[in-house]
Amino acid sequence: MGITYIKARVINPAKPAKTSLFKFLVDSGAVYTLIPEADLAGLGIKPSSEREFILANGEVVVRPVGNAFFEYQGITGAAPVVFGEGDVYLLGATTLEAWGVILDPLRRELKPLPMSLM
With beta carbons less than 8 A apart as the criterion, state whether 25 and 5 touch: yes
With beta carbons less than 8 A apart as the criterion, state whether 40 and 81 touch: yes
- Domain range annotation of the chain: 5-111
Question: For 92-109, what is the mean pLDDT?
Answer: 87
Write the pLDDT tens digit of every residue in 20-35.
999 999 988 889 999 9
CATH superfamily of 5-111: Acid Proteases (2.40.70.10)
pLDDT (0 to 100) of residue 115: 72
The yes-or-no verdict on residue 1 having pLDDT over 60 is no
How do strand 75-84 and strand 33-36 relate by DSSP bridges?
parallel
CA 114 – CA 93 distance, rounded (Å): 15
Q: What are the φ and ψ backbone dihedral angles of 93, each rounded to 5 degrees? A: -65, -35
CA 98 – CA 12 distance, rounded (Å): 16
